[in-house]
């Protein structure tokens, strides 16, 4: 899948989510439920491609234990106050973190990682949690610091569940960095 195709599919899925499932946003239903519905629409629009769409998927064919890990720089975790007690006790600069991305578009059992998506709602406004999602997306799309997932595209989606329901913000990630932001204000 080309990056432009993924972006188009993602935007079509968001549009369908907003049309078909406004109840989830209006009633501030948990982001896992919203992510699930988004994944259903992504799967529908991905049907011409030979890919899988999964939620909370922790598998990785490149690892001996088949689990999904990213390597995160110690300094970045310290900045966010996200170092665990065990991580504080060692001297590693690249810290392995087991991760469960909200949604991924990939091919199970193969090293074809097309898109990885983290979803937040405006009621889950913790700056630290949002910054941590940004950091994870940088790692998911990077081949630096021991990261090997190499997703073609990373997406951070923040959906408004307070105020102007249906407004949203998208941050796109490529090659370990934030490359573009789009804010959609439907008011």
- Residues 114-144 have pLDDT tens digits of 999 999 998 866 788 899 999 999 999 999 8
Query: Rounded to an integer, what distance in angstroms lies between the CA atom of residue 94 and that of residue 24?
Result: 38
pLDDT of residue 65: 64
pLDDT of residue 58: 83
- Residues 1-56 have pLDDT tens digits of 899 999 999 999 999 999 999 999 999 999 999 999 999 999 999 999 999 999 99
| pLDDT band of 89, cuts 50, 70, 90 | confident
- The model's pTM: 0.91
- Residues 142-185 have pLDDT tens digits of 998 888 888 999 999 999 988 788 899 999 999 999 999 888 77
Q: Which residues of 71-87 are buried (b: 16+ CB within 10 A; e: fewer)?
A: bbbbebbeebebbeeeb
Query: Could you tell me the CA-to-CA distances from 145 to 20, 127, 139 in Å, in that order?
Result: 41, 24, 9
- Look at residue 96 and tell me whether its pLDDT is greater than 90: no
pLDDT of residue 63: 67
- Identify the structural domains of the chain with CATH numbers, from first to last: 3-184 (3.90.1570)
- Look at residue 186 and tell me whether its pLDDT is greater than 60: no
Q: Is 46 exposed, middle or buried (0-12, 13-18, 19+ CB in 10 A)?
A: buried
- Residues 62-87 have pLDDT tens digits of 766 677 888 888 888 888 888 888 88
Query: Rounded to an integer, what distance in angstroms lies between the CA atom of residue 161 and that of residue 94?
Result: 36
């Amino acid at each position: 899948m080309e990056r432009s195709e993924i972006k188009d599919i993602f935007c079509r899925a968001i549009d369908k989510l907003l049309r078909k499932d406004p109840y989830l946003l209006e009633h501030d239903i948990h982001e896992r439920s919203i992510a699930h519905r988004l994944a259903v629409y992504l799967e529908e629009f991905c049907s011409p491609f030979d890919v899988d769409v999964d939620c909370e998927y922790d598998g990785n064919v490149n690892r001996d234990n088949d689990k999904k890990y990213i390597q995160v720089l110690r300094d970045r975790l310290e900045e966010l106050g996200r170092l665990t007690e065990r991580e504080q006790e060692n001297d590693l600069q690249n810290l392995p973190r087991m991760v469960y991305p909200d949604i991924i578009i990939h091919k199970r059992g193969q090293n074809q990682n097309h898109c990885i998506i983290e979803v937040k709602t405006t009621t889950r406004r913790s700056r630290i949690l949002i910054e941590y999602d940004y950091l994870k997306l940088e790692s998911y799309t990077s081949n630096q610091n021991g990261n090997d997932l190499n997703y073609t595209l990373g997406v951070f989606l923040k959906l408004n569940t307070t105020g102007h329901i249906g407004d949203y913000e998208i941050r796109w990630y490529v090659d370990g960095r934030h490359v573009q932001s789009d804010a959609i204000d439907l008011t």
